[in-house]
Amino acid sequence: MKLWAGRFKKEVDETVNDFNSSISFDSRMAEQDIKGSMAHAAMLAAADIISQEDADKIIGGLQSILFDLQEGTLPIDPAAEDIHMFVEAELTRRIGDAGKRLHTARSRNDQVALDTRLYVREQLQEIIGLIKAFIKALCDKAEQHTETVMPGYTHLQRAQPITFAHHLMAYTQMLLRDVGRLEDAYGRMNECPLGSGALATTTYPINRDFVRSKLGFARLTANSLDGVSDRDFCIEAASDIAVLMMHLSRFSEEMILWCSWEFKFIELDDAYATGSSIMIRGKTGRVYGDLVTLLTMMKGLPLAYNKDMQEDKEAIFDSIDTVKLCLKTVTPMVETMRVLTGNMRNAAAKGFINATDCADYLVKKGLPFRDAYKITGQLVAYCIDHGKTLETLELTEYQQFCGTFQDDIYKAINLETCVKERKPVSGPAPDSVLKCIRMVRGQLKD
C-alpha cells in the first residue's frame, strides 16, 4: 500500500509510481534506516509514547530484517516506493500492529534526512581512510627516491632540478588538505535532524537528545524547517570530493605523461596499465556533474522539504562510489609502479635546468644579481649554438664570458649538488624531503 493511499480516490498511474520511486537507489541506506528506526523506537518507549513491549518487538523485528538483508536472504521489493516504506512494511508483516506504531512522532521528511546524514557521514570516514592509504603509498615510494634527480617543470618545460620524492610529496600536501576539508564537512554534518517532523516537529513529548546520543551525533539541528530541507552537507561533501578528484586527475595526467615514450619516467604494473589513469581523468568530469546536479536541484527550492530533493541521492551516491573506486585503483598503482631513475636523470641533464645555479654561483662570488643572470643567459646561448651543455663547457670557455669562473663551477652546476643545496624547508634537498615525509606520516597518525 502506498503512503498516500488514504487520501486519493484514484490509483496513481504506474508511470508516476515509477517516476516517484527511489527504491532502486536508496535501498543502499537500509542499514542506516533500520538503525535510525531502532533508536527512534527506543526513544518512543523511554518517553512513554509507546509501550516497552511494542518497542522491544519493533527493535527485535528490525534486527531480524537487518540480519536477513546482510545475509542476502531478504530481497528488496522493487515495487516498494522507497527503502523506508519497504522496511516498515516488512516489519509490520513480521510483528503485526506493533510495527505500525514505529512511525509515531516521525515523518518521512526527517527520516530520510537522518538516513542520508548517517550514510554520508559513514562514507566520508571511509573516503578519508582511503586517502590516508594513498598518502602512505606516496610516502613509501618517495622514501625510496629522495636522491632520484628529475627535472621540475613549469609550463611543461624543464625548469629546475628536483627529486622524484619531492614531486610525489607535493601530492601528499594536496591530499592532506582534502582530508581536512572532508573532516570539516563531517563536523558540520554531524547534527541529528530526527524530531524535525514533516517541518514543524511534533506534539508528542519526544526526546531528541536521546536519539542524538544513540546515533552518535554531536549536536541536534536547531531549526526544524532547516532540519528537513538542508542538503548543504551533500553539496559540501560532493564539492570536497570534486576537489579531491581534481587532485587525482592531475596525478593521473602525470602518470600518463610519464608512461609515454616522450618521458618514459615510469612503468606501470600490467594490472594497472590498461587505462586506469585515463579513466580517473574521465571520471573526474562525472563527479563535477554530480556537484552541479546538487547545486542546481537546490537553487530554486522554497522551504521546507520538496520532492525534488529526492534527486540528491543518486548524485551524492555516485560521487562517493566514484572517488572510492578511483582511490582503490590509484593506491596500488603507485605501490607497484617501476621508476626509471636513469631516464629521469638523463632528462634532468638536458634543458639547462642548472642555469639558475650557474648564476647563483656568480652572485655568491660577488657579482650583482642582474649581471650574473645576463652572463648565464649568454652562456646558454653559446651552448645552444655549439651543441654543448653547461657541464661540457671547458673552463676557458666559461672564462671568455666572466673571469670569475673557476674549477668549482662544475661542482656548483652538478645536478646532485643543485638538488642537495636547495635546503630550505619545503625544498627538494634529500634531508628536507625526509623531514617532510616524517611530518606527513605524523599527521596521518594524528
Query: Phi, psi (5° rounding) for residue 225?
Result: -60, -45
Burial 21-51 (b: 16+ CB within 10 A, else e): bbbeebbebbbbbbbbbbbbbbbbbeeebbe
Q: Is residue 168 part of a domain?
A: no
Residues 6 or more apart whose CB falls under 8 angstroms from that of 201 comprise 195, 224
Query: Phi, psi (5° rounding) for residue 219?
Result: -145, 170
Report residue 388 as a C-alpha cell.
654543448
Q: Name the residue with higher pLDDT: 2 or 66.
A: 66
CATH code at position 90: 1.10.275.10
Q: Name the residue with higher pLDDT: 249 or 19.
A: 249
Instruction: For residues 418 and 355, state if they share a domain.
Output: yes
Cell 646532485 found at: 416
Q: According to the model, what pLDDT value does residue 446 have?
A: 81
Instruction: For residues 235 and 334, state if they share a domain.
Output: yes
Report residue 60 as a C-alpha cell.
527485535
- pTM equals 0.92
Task: Give residue 1's pLDDT band: very low, low, confident or very high (50, 70, 90).
Answer: very low
Nearest residue to 309 via CA among 296, 320, 322, 321: 296
Flag whether pLDDT at 179 surpasses 90: yes
Strands (E), 345-405: none
Handedness of CA 357, 255, 259, 140 (dihedral sign): positive
Q: Is residue 330 part of a domain?
A: yes
Q: According to the model, what pLDDT value does residue 273 have?
A: 75
Q: Is residue 232 part of a domain?
A: yes
Residues 6 or more apart whose CB falls under 8 angstroms from that of 318 comprise 286, 287, 290
Task: Give residue 10's pLDDT band: very low, low, confident or very high (50, 70, 90).
Answer: low
Instruction: For residues 252 and 115, state if they share a domain.
Output: yes
* pLDDT tens digits along 389-424: 899 999 999 999 999 999 999 999 999 999 999 999
Task: Give residue 6's pLDDT band: very low, low, confident or very high (50, 70, 90).
Answer: low
Q: H helices then E strands: how many in the chain? A: 19, 6
Flag whether pLDDT at 262 surpasses 70: yes
> Using omega within 30 degrees of 0 as the cis cutoff, is the peptide bond preceding 170 cis?
no
CATH code at position 318: 1.20.200.10
Q: According to the model, what pLDDT value does residue 12 have?
A: 60
Q: According to the model, what pLDDT value does residue 277 have?
A: 72
Beta-bridged to residue 191, according to DSSP, are 219
The CA-based dihedral angle spanning residues 54, 55, 57, 58, taken in that order and rounded to the nearest 10 degrees: 120
Instruction: For residues 292 and 361, state if they share a domain.
Output: no
Distance in angstroms (rounded) separating the CA atoms of residues 370 and 281: 43
Task: Give residue 4's pLDDT band: very low, low, confident or very high (50, 70, 90).
Answer: very low
* Active-site residue, selected from the candidate residues 249, 276, 319, 432: 276
Report residue 44 as a C-alpha cell.
518512543
On whether the CB atoms of residues 123 and 316 are closer than 8 A, the answer is no
- In order of 57, 129, 153, 178, 300, the CA distances from 182 in angstroms are 38, 11, 30, 6, 26
Q: According to the model, what pLDDT value does residue 272 have?
A: 82
- In order of 57, 323, 331, 336, 412, the CA distances from 117 in angstroms are 26, 18, 28, 36, 58
On whether the CB atoms of residues 135 and 172 are closer than 8 A, the answer is yes
Instruction: For residues 125 and 93, state if they share a domain.
Output: no
Fill in the amino acid letter for 340. Answer: L
Average the pLDDT over 429-443 and give the result.
97
Distance in angstroms (rounded) separating the CA atoms of residues 11 and 30: 27
Q: According to the model, what pLDDT value does residue 16 have?
A: 53
CATH code at position 359: 1.10.40.30
Task: Give residue 351's pLDDT band: very low, low, confident or very high (50, 70, 90).
Answer: confident
Domain boundary, last residue among 341, 374, 392:
341
Q: List the end-to-end C-alpha distance of the chain, in Å, as a whole number.
A: 51
Q: Is residue 360 part of a domain?
A: yes
Instruction: For residues 253 and 335, state if they share a domain.
Output: yes
Q: Is residue 215 part of a domain?
A: no
> What does 67-121 look like in DSSP terms, one character per residue?
HHHHHT-S---TTSSSHHHHHHHHHHHHHGGGGGGTTTT--HHHHHHHHHHHHHH
Q: Is 276 part of the annotated catalytic residue set?
A: yes
Task: Give residue 21's pLDDT band: very low, low, confident or very high (50, 70, 90).
Answer: confident
Q: According to the model, what pLDDT value does residue 350 have?
A: 84
Flag whether pLDDT at 325 surpasses 60: yes
Q: According to the model, what pLDDT value does residue 5 have?
A: 53
Q: For a pLDDT cut of 70, what percent of the chain falls above it?
A: 95
Flag whether pLDDT at 374 surpasses 90: yes
Q: What does pLDDT average to over the chain?
A: 94
Q: According to the model, what pLDDT value does residue 95 have?
A: 98
Domain boundary, last residue among 101, 128, 158:
101
> What does 55-80 look like in DSSP terms, one character per residue?
HHHHHHHHHHHHHHHHHT-S---TTS
For 380-386, the CB contacts below 8 A with 24+ separation are: 380/352, 380/355, 383/352
Q: According to the model, what pLDDT value does residue 15 have?
A: 58
Q: Is residue 326 part of a domain?
A: yes
> From the centroid of its chain, how far is CA 35?
26
Flag whether pLDDT at 210 surpasses 50: yes
Domain count, the chain: 3
- Give kind and range of the element (H or E) at residue 371: helix 369-386
Flag whether pLDDT at 46 surpasses 60: yes
Instruction: For residues 94 and 133, state if they share a domain.
Output: no
Distance in angstroms (rounded) separating the CA atoms of residues 53 and 60: 11
Q: According to the model, what pLDDT value does residue 298 have?
A: 97
Nearest residue to 57 via CA among 33, 93, 108: 93
Residues 6 or more apart whose CB falls under 8 angstroms from that of 143 comprise 165, 434, 437
Instruction: For residues 269 and 304, state if they share a domain.
Output: yes
Q: Is residue 22 part of a domain?
A: yes
* pLDDT tens digits along 94-114: 999 999 999 999 999 999 999
Instruction: For residues 271 and 357, state if they share a domain.
Output: no
* pLDDT tens digits along 54-70: 999 999 999 999 999 99
Q: According to the model, what pLDDT value does residue 132 have?
A: 98
Handedness of CA 284, 287, 293, 298 (dihedral sign): negative
Flag whether pLDDT at 194 surpasses 60: yes
Q: Is residue 153 part of a domain?
A: no
Instruction: For residues 86 and 127, state if they share a domain.
Output: no
Instruction: For residues 62 and 118, state if they share a domain.
Output: no
Q: Is 155 part of the annotated catalytic residue set?
A: yes
Report residue 49 as a C-alpha cell.
509514547
Instruction: For residues 274 and 191, state if they share a domain.
Output: yes
Flag whether pLDDT at 8 surpasses 60: no
Flag whether pLDDT at 18 surpasses 90: no
> From the centroid of its chain, how far is CA 51?
45
Task: Give residue 349's pLDDT band: very low, low, confident or very high (50, 70, 90).
Answer: confident
- The range of the structural domain enclosing residue 353 comes to 347-445
Domain boundary, last residue among 101, 124, 159:
101
